[in-house]
Amino acid sequence: MRISCRHAANVFIALFLALAVRPCLRSQATNYPDKPPVLLGAAWYPEQWPESRWDQDLTLMEAAHIDVVRVAEFAWSTMEPSEGNYQFDWLDRAIAAAARHHICVVLGTPTAAPPAWLTTKYPETLRWNEFDRRDEHGNRQQFSFTDPKYRQFAHAIAEQMAIHFGHNPNVVGWQLDNEYANPSFDPSAKEQFHRWLEKKYGSVAELNRRWATAYWSQTYDNFDEIPVRENDENPALLLDWKRFVSETWKNYSENQISAIRTHADPRQFITTNTMGWFDGFDEYTVHSVLDIAAWDDYIGSDKYDYVSNGATHDLTRGYKNKNFWVMETEPAFVNWRKTNTPLWRGQIRDMAWQAIGHGSDAVEYWQWRSAPNGQEEYHGVLVGADGTPVPDYAEIQQVGEEFAKAGPALAGTSPHSDAALVNDYDSRWAISFQRHSANFDPVGEMLAFYRPLREKSQSVDVISINAPFDGYKVLVLPGLNVISQKAADRLMEYVRNGGRLLLGPRSGMKDEFDALQPERQPGALAALLGGRVDQFYALDYDVPLTGDLGSGTANIWAEQLSTQSSDTKVVERYGVKGQNSGAPGAPGFGATGLNGWLDDQPAVLTRKVGKGRITYVGAWLDDALLDNITAGLLEEAGVQPILPGVPKGVEVCRRTGDGKTGQGKSVLILINHNSDAAHVSLPAPMRNLIGSQSTAVSTVDLPAYGVAVLAKE
Ligand code: GLA
């Protein structure tokens, strides 16, 4: 593929202008003066192997340019083999051995895997599922996240570890637990939920009012009567349960943080490893007490969808609004899917650089070496149980070499965006509780809006509704179903100050109690829009649309809109049966896709407000229409792509500098996600920091899954 690079001269001007107007400085996740700025790592389980074999493993790690290992996150039974009997000598030796190979350590607190003695002696520490069935030993995550006894043990092991390792110069950080996931429904959880509700509502009468419990005789006489469920309940209860779960994971974290912070050097960060779009709790709540964000980047399907994977990196970056770590990723394949197909040769490197391009400062593989036994014997690794490298080791070694080469240029840099997408857990939960249209997946709708935004601007932040909006030229809220007055006020101010706000379907329907707003959608924003939703419809067929954005279709969801103000413009309308003649199935043709209610009704509205604009999209639009609407908004807002005209499937990422170490830096990362070669022209000569040529180049040839990391001369 050969393309010419249009608007070349404007690119660098746009780049520096963009830098000049950014309001808030981002930063690297971690900045250790004595450690590489970009780290390659792996999960290492020394407790699974005889000590005599550690050095062989660490030698191979060093040869692969591995800088960091995460250890101990499931090693409770080795660290505390019986109650109060702490054994850290082996871990001291493992950390020291790693240091001899220039490998630093992230320590995991082992609380995702309590030992058998603990749960046997204190069965109240075990988790109950929603139907009151108690978990058993033998798997992991079998603990109750609320149980006071469990909290006591978790605090004690974290404290003992912090006393022991908190000043170890080779320990750079802490991972709390592992992939927080399942809430418990044991008696302590139920009791705490009831007290949480009592504190929130003050009186049961207020709760009855907010939840509208006269419906189906749900009226409660006291808080203890309230069921504790995560399904088939009043959605107001379900929403509060999710918030309670979020607060509980937060204070579960604080329990361990207080133990670690008291004894550990402040340079040691504290994080936990998260799971992308998982919606079990609100990540922003939990991250309010963590130092950096980290996630486990696994491809959950047969196909590596790089746009969707990039969106998850951006989501994670948004938890703390700064760079993050990929705490785990797959070396070629996992073991937990139906058919665990591998990544293609080259894609491991492609994924690693994508993580860095989106603001990760570390990429760690799970896991270093196959465990001798256990539930995950088939998982991808770098080294087999025999202790020798498997084929993907060489590709990861190449990644390590490249991180070492490009690291200094990337130090102090992070991605910066003019466009942001809002991720709101309350809204995602509220939609999921009552989808109305089975295919209305809130994350799918987020990604449908993210895709063209990313493609056209080449950089998107994914942020919380409570994050600062100023500095963003375009703000997209694909489904802000739950809207508080405070959020509405901030959004109105954003538009009045010149921002461009794009709202997706189902926006502004509910208040914070999941109650229907007294005004039609988009609730408090309807007046600013000068328009509203008259009715919503679930669809399982294509509905044609025509208008300024062109012709296309909607599916899954369509809202019948109306204008309430003369300066509110109808951008797109649903078709009319028999309006056009031609091939059946095409937009506006025949009976397919028309339900009568939507005929000729507005589907997309927009209104200019001073220099700002509010646009409401009332339907799940096809990709082409979403492309057009996004392109129009970005153009009006003056948002340029970082590198225009790159071939399809070539991703452009840019990290620019902030702070002392990053001042004036700008690094482009180009990744060819295609299975064939691509050619990219650069607007000015740049040096490929990981290429074989030492001089600056004006064009880059990227083989299949090829990567270039470019900096100005
Ligand atoms: C998760 C866990 C790891 C391991 C991997 C396997 O992300 O955190 O312990 O089980 O999955 O893919």
> What residue owns the CA closest to ligand 1's atom 6?
334
Band the pLDDT of 98: cuts 50, 70, 90. Answer: very high
Beta carbon of 177 within 6 Å of any ligand 1 atom: no
Rounded CA-CA distance 674/682 in Å is 19
152 token code pair:
């006591």
* pLDDT on residue 662: 78
Beta strands per DSSP E along 454-551: 460-463, 474-477, 500-503, 531-538, 543-547
User: Per mean pLDDT, which range of 7-21, 241-255, 525-539 is the poorest?
Assistant: 7-21
Rounded CA-CA distance 331/400 in Å is 13
The secondary structure element, H or E, covering residue 219 is none
φ/ψ of residue 604, rounded to 5: -135, 130
Rounded CA-CA distance 256/176 in Å is 7
Is the pLDDT at 226 greater than 60, yes or no? yes
Substitution site in 179, 326, 379 for ligand 1 pocket (most atoms within 8 Å of beta carbon): 179
* pLDDT on residue 593: 65
* pLDDT on residue 29: 85
What count of other Cβ atoms lies within 10 Å of the Cβ of residue 8?
A: 16
Band the pLDDT of 578: cuts 50, 70, 90. Answer: low
15: exposed, middle or buried (C-beta count within 10 Å: 0-12, 13-18, 19+)?
Answer: buried
Task: Please say whether the beta carbons of 537 and 617 come within 8 A.
Answer: no
* pLDDT on residue 595: 83
Task: Please say whether the beta carbons of 272 and 293 come within 8 A.
Answer: no
> Could you tell me which of 217, 262, 210 has the C-alpha nearest to residue 239?
210
Average pLDDT over residues 626-654: 98
Average pLDDT over the chain, rounded to an integer: 93
The answer to whether residue 376 is catalytic is: no
Identity (one letter) of the amino acid at 567?
D
For residue 330, give the ligand 1 atom closest to its CA: 12
Q: Which residues of 117-130 are buried (b: 16+ CB within 10 A; e: fewer)?
A: bbbeebeebbbbee
Task: Please say whether the beta carbons of 465 and 424 come within 8 A.
Answer: yes
Beta carbon of 366 within 6 Å of any ligand 1 atom: yes
- Name 231's Cβ contacts closer than 8 Å, sequence gap at least 6: 130, 238
For residue 275, give the ligand 1 atom closest to its CA: 7
Average pLDDT over residues 101-110: 98
Distance 379 CA to ligand 1 centre (A): 9
pLDDT tens digits for 444-486?
999 999 999 999 999 999 999 999 999 999 999 999 999 999 9
The larger pLDDT score, comparing residue 300 to residue 342, is at 342
Average pLDDT over residues 343-366: 98
Is the pLDDT at 14 greater than 70, yes or no? no
For residue 273, give the ligand 1 atom closest to its CA: 8
The larger pLDDT score, comparing residue 302 to residue 377, is at 377
Task: Please say whether the beta carbons of 699 and 679 come within 8 A.
Answer: yes
Beta carbon of 179 within 6 Å of any ligand 1 atom: yes
Average pLDDT over residues 414-434: 98
Identity (one letter) of the amino acid at 645?
G
Indicate which residue of 73, 283, 328, 559 is catalytic.
328
Distance 366 CA to ligand 1 centre (A): 7
Beta strands per DSSP E along 524-649: 531-538, 543-547, 552-563, 569-574, 602-609, 612-617, 619-621
* pLDDT on residue 11: 36
> Could you tell me which of 373, 374, 351, 375 has the C-alpha nearest to residue 364?
351
Please spell the DSSP secondary structure of 243-297, one letter per residue.
Answer: HHHHHHHHHHHHHHHHHHHHHS-TTSEEE-EE-TT--SS-HHHHHTT-SS-EEEE
Beta carbon of 296 within 6 Å of any ligand 1 atom: yes
Coil/strand/helix, residue 523: helix
pTM attached to this predicted model: 0.95
Please spell the DSSP secondary structure of 172-209, one letter per residue.
Answer: EEEE-SSS------SHHHHHHHHHHHHHHHSSHHHHHH
Is the pLDDT at 694 greater than 90, yes or no? no
pLDDT tens digits for 140-187?
999 999 999 999 999 999 999 999 999 999 999 999 999 999 999 999
pLDDT tens digits for 583-614?
444 444 444 567 889 999 999 999 999 999 99
Task: Please say whether the beta carbons of 530 and 567 come within 8 A.
Answer: yes
Q: Give the rounded percent of residues in the chain with a pLDDT score beyond 90.
A: 90
- Name 486's Cβ contacts closer than 8 Å, sequence gap at least 6: none
* pLDDT on residue 587: 47
Beta strands per DSSP E along 298-407: 324-329, 360-365
Band the pLDDT of 22: cuts 50, 70, 90. Answer: very low
Distance 16 CA to ligand 1 centre (A): 41
Beta carbon of 379 within 6 Å of any ligand 1 atom: yes
225: exposed, middle or buried (C-beta count within 10 Å: 0-12, 13-18, 19+)?
Answer: exposed
* pLDDT on residue 579: 56
Alpha carbon 160 to its chain centroid, in Å, reads 32
Q: Angle at CA 65, nearest 5°, toward 64 and 70? A: 95
The answer to whether residue 124 is catalytic is: no
